[in-house]
Amino acid sequence: MTFGCKQLVLALLALVPTSQAQWDASRFAWYTGDAGSDFASAVPIGNGRLGAAIYGTGDERITLNENSIWSGPWQDRANRNSRSALSNIRSQLMSGDMTGAGQATLQNMAGNPTSPRQYNPLGDMTISFGHGSGRSNFLRYLDTYQGTAFVTYNYNNVNYTREYVGSYPHGVIAMRMSSSQAGQLNVRVSLSRSQYTTSQTASTSNGVNSVKLNGNSGQSSNAITFSSEARVVNTGGSVTTDGRSISVSGATTVDIFFDAQTSYRYSSQSAWESALTNNLNRAVSAGYAAIRSAAIADNTRLIGRVSLNLGSSGSAGNQDTRSRLTSYRSNPNADPQLATLMFNFGRHSLVASSRDTGALSLPANLQGIWNKDFSPAWGSEHLAININTEMNYWPAEVTNLGETHKPLFDLIKVAKARGQTMANVMYGCNNGGFVLHHNIDLWGDAAPVDYGTPYTMWPMGSVWLSLHMMEHYRFSGNRTFLQTDAWPVLQSAAQFYFCYMFNWNSYMTTGPTLSPENPFTVPGDMRTAGRSEGIDISVQMDNSMLEELFKAVIQTCQILGLANSECGSAQSYLSRLRPPSIGSYGQILEWRREYGEPEPGHRHMSAIWGLFPGSQMAPLNSSTYSAAARRLLDHRMQNGSGSTGWSRTWVMNLYARLLDGNSVWSSAVAFLQRYPSPNLWNTDSGPGSAFQIDGNFGFTSAIAEMLLQSHNVVHLLPALPSAVGTGSVTGLVARGGFVVDITWSGGSLTGASILSRNGGTLALRVAGGSQFSVNGVTYNGPISTTAGTTYRITPGMRWLRLYGVYCL
């Protein structure tokens, strides 16, 4: 034991080949070819409001998004029959007429029209270089740490480079094109959009070279309208315009700054156009180099808070990402760093698609902010709040990106006002409560969406969203936020249910409602036996979510010392919720009784929401419920669930909550083998199928949940897979505001340090309950911490005696 830690680290570093230092396999997605015409091979960057997907083609194509460009204005879709039909539908459901009630629900309660607004692309930028075939030494990459993209190649003995960065500080996408030989760069810059373009111009006057494209959402009045502009700044060469594009010839460097502004955030075209002009003037005078370094400083400040090491891949990680994904399908064990890259890609994607851009910032939607289609996949469901939007934010707090959560809170506030009106129109509840159904749009549209009994009528969206605000408080400890932001939302969410719920078998219950997207078979003693239906009362997910809502209200009342009537009502409703029931094969029952399952491998895990993201069914809370939740999850998996990318990542999070690391890992491997497109986006059923960003975020969340959980206690390595027995992580966050660094080896903890941001009590657990010490003292119960102080965790006595004196 003369070999100290420092020597050990140096010896290990010497083993890392230099080729890998160059291409950190956890950090870069890189390609030796361009994306061709495949959007899902384009490299995605963004500044939280503007998104860009870069193809790297000979004539560069960049698909551009701005997060408030959607398909139209606010629409009042409320069904005015709902209020009077409600009590009859409830009676039908209580008496067992499932089919009659389902039909009556659709006819009287579905929205009209059935769809909210959908997300739309801004358009494409084309930068024509005249470099068709004949490019060599081609390289294109995404740097998930800096949030930058890069393209380089040789053409006619000249090296060309293109750099791209999404800048949150300057509010633009900035680009630099350059040639290694002076005067060899010729480009033509244009903007295009396939629909609803209202003007397309270019001009060069007073040294300002600008390409502009304006468009709208297509309606004759009240359309969402936008203006966008690219400023072209050249070093060397000459500039001309044909009135629609800007051409630069004989330059050495060309910089492009892009921004777009819309009617969503401004009251008049002159207002958003002057914001656009001012922003671009500011960008041009700052210059590319300053914008790039500020953007990188901003991105790395957020991204750099967490560093994950799950082991190194050697040569398997040192390949073009496209080949790497292919190799992984047959030999996953060779490349553990692919999981780390995917974890980092999720954090990059969140920072790139969800930033605070003022009171009307918008959250990452189903495609983040990377969409090329006017009728995108799941077009009417861009903010599906029966899982997908929430999943986007699962990694936000635990991976130390709490500020990326704020755009979701902004939209909740918009939706709350809509939902208060909807509560009155549809349910006759006029007590300040708000209701949302299974989708919203940028206007906070609160009406039911689509037309089908397994999905349309789900009056629970406000609960799940509101709980995100409570979680933000639990992780950050920001009391001002709890008081001024979260409480009004939690209060209003609860108020709705105090009006809406009704007594059934002496439980306060919900209905008509459903268990998201999963149908059941109507049993013989109900009408119409054998049919597939979706609408019911007292669905398990509703009860699990309401339990957490009422507990959140009670907790907030305690922390803030409130004496509002909701504090008492939450307590009394909490005691009148139907507890989970357990069915014939030991599973949590999804509905109020055991129905037949037409889809036993269904992708939604709604019945065990109380396991994740909830905590009602977590093993340390209830071994009975967690065992029954596991039974249902295993049954689903044995029947083919986890069958879409996002569903597979929910499964990962659920196994993490069951403290089963090996099952998390086998689903992580299955996810990486099947779902990512070449640019690492999650897809519905594999490359070529619909892209949804939610699964990327679910993946990142699950990797964090494997290493740190905090819904009961601050739990280090709760679900460590044996496949990644040695590794480390820094900067994860636990509820209570504890920042946690952990190292492990041979499958167990070797050390941890925990920074207390806010002070407060720290209750700890290590893995399956192993012994450990805090600052050298054996842990035997919660300790009280001092804000700003770091606590060192060392493993149990035996380990400490052997190695601890050398390393810790």
Ligand X SMILES: *[C@@H]1O[C@H](CO)[C@@H](O)[C@H](O)[C@H]1NC(C)=O
* Residue placing its CB nearer to ligand X in the complex, 353 or 615: 615
Stretch that binds ligand X, among 11-19, 445-453, 455-463, 631-639 (CB under 6 A): 631-639
Stretch that binds ligand X, among 13-21, 476-484, 504-512, 530-538 (CB under 6 A): 476-484
Q: Which position among 374, 481, 507, 803 is part of the footprint of ligand X (CB under 6 A)? A: 481
The residue type found at 662 is: N
Q: Which position among 20, 128, 478, 689 is part of the footprint of ligand X (CB under 6 A)? A: 478
The residue type found at 447 is: A
In angstroms, rounded to a whole number, what is the distance separating the alpha carbons of residues 599 and 459? Answer: 23
Q: Going by DSSP bridges, is the β-strand pair 383-384/439-440 parallel, antiparallel, or unpaired?
A: antiparallel
The token pair at 580 is 């989970």
Q: Which position among 91, 238, 323, 639 is part of the footprint of ligand X (CB under 6 A)? A: 639
CB of 464 to ligand X, least distance (A): 15
* Residue placing its CB nearer to ligand X in the complex, 730 or 758: 758
* Contact status: 192 vs ligand X (CB under 6 A): no
**Distance between the two ends of the chain, CA-based, in angstroms?**
14
Spell out, one character per residue from 130 to 149, where the chain touches ligand X: x when CB under 6 A holds, - when not.
-------x------------
In angstroms, rounded to a whole number, what is the distance separating the alpha carbons of residues 176 and 298? Answer: 19
CB of 487 to ligand X, least distance (A): 11
CB of 632 to ligand X, least distance (A): 9
* Residue placing its CB nearer to ligand X in the complex, 12 or 359: 359
Helix or strand holding residue 764 (H, E)? strand 764-766
Q: Going by DSSP bridges, is the β-strand pair 714-716/764-766 parallel, antiparallel, or unpaired?
A: parallel
CB of 618 to ligand X, least distance (A): 6
CB of 774 to ligand X, least distance (A): 20
- 8 Å CB contact between 235 and 254: yes
Q: How far is CA 154 from the centre of its chain?
A: 37
CB of 270 to ligand X, least distance (A): 31
Q: Which position among 88, 315, 430, 638 is part of the footprint of ligand X (CB under 6 A)? A: 638
Work out the number of other CB atoms within 10 angstroms of the CB of residue 507.
Answer: 17
* Residue placing its CB nearer to ligand X in the complex, 75 or 621: 621
| Backbone conformation region of residue 608, classed left if phi is above 0, alpha if psi is from -120 to 50, else beta | alpha
Work out the number of other CB atoms within 10 angstroms of the CB of residue 808.
Answer: 18
- 8 Å CB contact between 709 and 656: yes
CB of 480 to ligand X, least distance (A): 4
* Residue placing its CB nearer to ligand X in the complex, 208 or 582: 582
Q: Which position among 24, 34, 124, 485 is part of the footprint of ligand X (CB under 6 A)? A: 485
* Residue placing its CB nearer to ligand X in the complex, 113 or 600: 600
Q: Tell which positions 594-623 bind ligand X, by CB under 6 A.
A: 600, 615-616, 621
Interacting residues of 125 by C-beta distance below 8 A, sequence separation 6+: 60, 61, 62, 64, 189, 190, 191, 230, 256, 258
Spell out, one character per residue from 711 to 740, where the chain touches ligand X: x when CB under 6 A holds, - when not.
-x----------------------------
Radius of gyration of the chain, Cα coordinates, nearest whole angstrom? 27
CB of 678 to ligand X, least distance (A): 22
Nearest Cα neighbor of 441 from 378, 521, 509, 494 is 378
- 8 Å CB contact between 333 and 723: yes
Q: Tell which positions 651-680 bind ligand X, by CB under 6 A.
A: none
* Contact status: 159 vs ligand X (CB under 6 A): yes
Q: Which runs of consecutive H residues, i.e. helices, occur in 113-199?
A: none
Tell me the site size for ligand X, rule CB under 6 A.
19
Largest CA distance in the chain: 83
Interaction site with ligand X (CB under 6 A): 137, 154, 159, 180, 478, 480-481, 484-485, 551, 585, 600, 615-616, 621, 635, 638-639, 712
